Amino acid sequence: MMDHLANTEINSQRIAAVENCFGASGQPLALPGRVLLGEGILTKECRKKPKPRIFFLFNDILVYGSIIINKRKYNSQHIIPLEDVTLETLPDTLQMKNRWMIKTSKKSFVVSAASLTERKEWISHLEECIKHLLSKTGRQPCREPAAPWIPDKATDICMRCTHTKFSTLTRRHHCRKCGFVVCADCSRQRFLMPRLSPKPLRVCNLCYRQLLAEKKKEAEADRRQTEPIPSAMQGYEPSSGDDSDKSDDEKAEQWPADTEFYTSQVSWSSFHS
């Protein structure tokens, strides 16, 4: 179906319609071989509260954005390469049903569909596109997805120190490594994680210590690889392989006659068993 639609006029028209809905704030979406497979409104669990978002599934990317006027105007366009996507089905909660997580190396988030059937269809089409892309490119699925941010309303206290209560004056912050909701005192550190951003990001104290330890371990491994390997016989002259000029009798005179070289009764071969 993808190959059949790739160069058709109707596919070009559909992609152009999506570009027009995003307007000048969106990126161009038309590329040779790109096919628009479907679209729909999903509820995305955001930091403050769940919000409806428009999603467009292409054969190589997933595009979503905020709804200003449905079918007419969208903004805040996000483009996710499907090669970087893995999926995880999640259990229902009191507030949200038919949930699953879209995980990527830079951002992970939870969405929910209006029905169980709709969720199955979304997941089925996503997995089919991802499988096709990975087999085509030879890449491996994302193995280190970014942690999803826990919603603000999930906790009233800091999830690290467990005693600071959030209020109008005491702001909530999110650790970019673990996604926990933390207070300012528990997230004063910044750490450079190139996979997520070219700038140092806020992390909680626990993740900061773990990241420092990992960095130190990597630096130590790199240092060992670049160090010259010392000679196993450093400080010794190599043997010529020739016998000494002294006779065996002369050598024997250097040792006391009553010296016992092997005082143990254990046989030589036992030392190697």
The answer to the question of residue 189 being in a domain is yes
Q: Where are the beta strands (DSSP E) in the chain?
A: 36-45, 50-58, 61-69, 73-81, 86-89, 99-103, 108-112, 173-174, 181-182, 189-191, 201-203
Instruction: Determine contact, residues 54/25, Cβ cutoff 8 Å.
Output: no
Residues 156 and 95 in one domain: no
Residue 164 domain flag: yes
How do the pLDDT tens digits run along the chain, 273 residues long?
A: 565 666 688 999 999 999 999 999 999 999 998 999 999 999 999 988 999 999 999 999 999 999 999 999 999 999 999 999 999 999 998 889 999 999 999 999 999 999 999 999 999 999 999 999 999 888 888 788 999 999 998 999 999 999 999 999 999 999 999 999 999 999 999 999 988 889 999 999 999 999 999 999 988 888 888 776 665 545 444 444 444 444 444 444 444 444 443 344 444 333 333
58 lies in the same domain as 114: yes
Question: For residue 108, what are the β-bridge partners?
Answer: 103
Asked if residue 205 is part of any domain, the answer here is yes
CA–CA gap between residue 181 and residue 166 (Å, rounded)? 10
Q: Are residues 66 and 106 in the same domain?
A: yes
Residue 253 lies in a domain: no
CB atoms within 10 A of CB 97: 15
Does residue 142 belong to any structural domain of this protein? no
Looking at the structure, do residues 119 and 156 belong to the same domain, yes or no? no
Torsion angle, CA of 96/100/103/109, rounded to 10 degrees? -10
Q: Where are the beta strands (DSSP E) in 12-72?
A: 36-45, 50-58, 61-69
Structural domains counted in the chain: 2
What is the residue range of 108's domain? 3-137
- Do 40 and 121 sit in the same domain of this protein? yes
Q: What's the CATH code of the domain at 65? A: 2.30.29.30
In sequence order, the 6+-apart residues with CB closer than 8 A to the CB of 210 are 177
Q: Is residue 264 part of a domain?
A: no
Q: Is residue 130 located within the same domain as residue 157?
A: no
Shared-domain flag, residues 28 and 99: yes
**Considering the domain boundaries, does residue 249 fall inside one?**
no
| Residue 153 sits in the same domain as residue 125 | no
Residues 69, 177: one domain? Answer: no
CA separation for the pair 136, 131 (Å, rounded): 9
CATH number at residue 195: 3.30.40.10
Specify if 254 maps to a domain. no
What SS3 state is found at 25? helix
Last residue of a domain, one of 181, 196, 223: 223
Q: How far apart are the first and last CA of the chain?
A: 66
Q: Are residues 52 and 113 in the same domain?
A: yes
Alpha helices in 95-194 (DSSP H): 116-137
